[in-house]
Amino acid sequence: MSVLEIENLKVNIDDKEILNGLSLTLPKGEVHAIMGPNGTGKSTLAKALAGHENYEITGGSATMNGEDILALEIDEIARAGLFLAFQYPVEIPGVSIANFIRAALNSRQEEDIDAVAYYKSLYAEMENLGIDRKFTSRSVNEGFSGGEKKRCEILQMAMLKPEFCILDETDSGLDVDALKVVAEGVNQMRGEERGILVITHYQRLLNYIVPDKVHIMMDGRIVKSGDKSLALEVEERGYDWIKEEIAAGV
């Protein structure tokens, strides 16, 4: 089975340990969600897997379809099939959305993609996400609202069709209407050929992207896992009851 396998991962930033032996298995064909209090390392996990240079791997492993991704450069990780949607997407002045996505696609194949076929596919995905075609000529995320930035991220994901997707708090800053559109775009990407990891603070996103499994993260590791009902329980009771279970050795 094709999987993203994380075992006993330990990560430091500025000499402070953030991830403390985190283990997680994400098979293709499944959607998993990670929830947890602020500062527990959720975004650190996403950035470390994507190869961010500020994050020092001090132990453990992370493999994708058996390949050690921690040994790869950032661009190599992306070409291997891992996609990260940022909590705060960056602006890229002077680079249009159309050229940015086309360059990313061309970097993954020997011959340049046919222009007619490319724009046909791009416009179809933009229509699905409620993105005006005029956005193709705009610089990536420059002057975009929060919702527009997140839709642009999902557009990139839809066009690149990665094997594994990590969505780092994609619901951050979205109103309900934008959340529904983004969630529908993610749901259209679900399938046996792809694994999706959703990182979120709030259960509300999981009303629209219903996960196969929910993991609770505290102190840099996964401390509890379950189905969608676990997210509902956290919404109702908070995280203190889980901390109490850990303290009691349950």
The pLDDT, as a whole number, for residue 138 is 96
Amino acid in position 137: S
Helix-strand-coil split of the chain, %, nearest 5: 40, 30, 30
Name the β-bridge partners of 45: none
**Are 167 and 145 spatial neighbours (Cβ–Cβ below 8 Å)?**
no
Nearest to 3 by CA among 58, 76, 61: 61
Amino acid in position 233: E
- Residues 6 or more apart whose CB falls under 8 angstroms from that of 149 comprise 89, 141
The pLDDT, as a whole number, for residue 160 is 94
**pLDDT under 50: residue ranges of the chain:** none
Q: Residues 112-141: pLDDT tens digits? A: 889 999 999 999 999 988 899 999 999 999
Task: Please report the domains of the chain, with CATH numbers, ordered by start residue.
Answer: 3-87+159-248 (3.40.50.300)
pTM: 0.93
The pLDDT, as a whole number, for residue 1 is 59
Q: Residues 188-220: pLDDT tens digits? A: 999 999 999 999 988 889 999 999 999 999 999
The pLDDT, as a whole number, for residue 26 is 97
